[in-house]
Chains A and B, each alone.
Chain A
Amino acid sequence: MTGRATGGSANRSVAAALRGPTGRAALVAAAVVIVLGLVAAFGGFRTAPPVGAARWAPGATVELARWQVVVDRVELSDTDAYGSPGPTTLRLHLRLTWTGDRSTYGPTTGLVTLLVPGGPAPDPQPTTVPTAGYQGGFDPDVPRPLVLDYAWPAPTARGGKSVQPPAPRVPAVVQVVLRDEYSRPTYLDDDNWSLTGPVGHVSAPVRDVRR
């Protein structure tokens, strides 16, 4: 009888303590720790891989929200589209199919990016190489080639001029990183889309086609 009474009164004093201000603060702190612990346990704090989690092979069709992307090949080139001498570039050959409803100018900047493992980094702004007679935009459900030239290594500004450092060696592979898009309607624009983080990449061998 006495034990039960003691146990009952001990429970009551714990409950009373928890109802107090210090007790409430302790409860909140405990909840935060538990939540953080769960997030960590499920990998929520792990750094997102800069190349995305998915892996595709060259030639595979990657299905994105509004694009189908095929990475055909990557070349190391030192001529321009017409065969004249030009800067050293990593030339990325893609086949794209736009699956939107209306013709569009081209893939959003950042949908496709190029990484060179171990560096140096290529110029983040590629130039488009006219291919197969195409100079305009992309039409719904029409697959067509897109060739992008990334100056590599990236030119640096030296004394007011743009100078390209010499290419160190031919990289064995480069990583073509793909991002996706998600619909983000705004008050003024129903058809507004934003880029996600990297969803995956294609490791493509580099073919040296320099003169």
Chain B
Amino acid sequence: MTGARTRARSGWVALVVCVLLALVLTAVTPDPATNVRRDWVDGRVGQSVVEPDLTTTVQQVRLARSASRSYGDPFVSRQRLVLVRLAVDVRHRQRLFSRVTLLTTTGLSYEPRDEFVSQGLSTTQAGFTRTATMVFEVPPEHVPGSRLVIDADGGAFDFYTRATRVDLGLTAATAIDPGAVRVPDSTVRVTG
């Protein structure tokens, strides 16, 4: 009798412990939607940053107050325009470059301006290199220390994968281009 009661009680204790453990784990585990784990590949301007299927080389970074395309009026900003010229070598399967952002040290994430979509990164097939310029509009106080992030395209499941992060070398002392910077359309050629 006593033995059965002890076994029953230890069963209940085990159940409570398991439930508490599940609760604690759920509470402390970061939300996967906003804290996606990445195996970051870090680099600097002028350096080729290599992932298995992508090599990224940021060639030049400029700050400006206005930028122009081959058509239309210049885009004028009261903030800073961060212009990142880069070349990407795509291998094995096409890249959409749908998740390219500028990440500030203050934890803010900026998408490239849609006004410069023809000048920026877009779908590139295996075996080709695209040269493009990404244009971001960022308040001056958030510019220093910013990094360019080229994240995995993402699919039905966001799983642990590699992604590129490039320190753009921007500081509070980085000079601002005085006039409207001309931004060319992006181009594609065979890699190599």
Contact = CB atoms under 8 A, between A and B. Distances in A.
A and B: direct contact (Cβ < 8 Å)? yes
Number of chain B interface residues as a range: 20 to 34
Contacts of A133: 72-76, 115
A142 B115 contact: no
B189 to A, nearest CB: 28
B38 to A, nearest CB: 16
A5 interface: no
B115 A103 contact: no
B108 A142 contact: no
A75 interface: no
Number of chain A interface residues as a range: 10 to 19
B111 interface: yes
Interface string B112-144: 011100000000000000000000111100100
Contact of A142 (B31, B75, B137): B137
B192 to A, nearest CB: 34
Which secondary structure characterizes the binding site on chain B?
A: mixed
A191 B76 contact: no
A139 interface: yes
Which secondary structure characterizes the binding site on chain A?
A: loop
A140 interface: yes
Given A142-B79, A142-B137, A188 B115 contact: no
Given A101-B107, A101-B108, A191 B75 contact: no
A102 B107 CA distance: 9
Interface in A175-211: 188-191
Nearest to A185: B31
A132 B76 contact: yes
Interface string B99-116: 001000001111101110
B76 A102 contact: no
Given A132-B76, A142-B137, A142-B139, A137 B34 contact: no
Interface of A: 101-103, 132-137, 139-143, 188-191
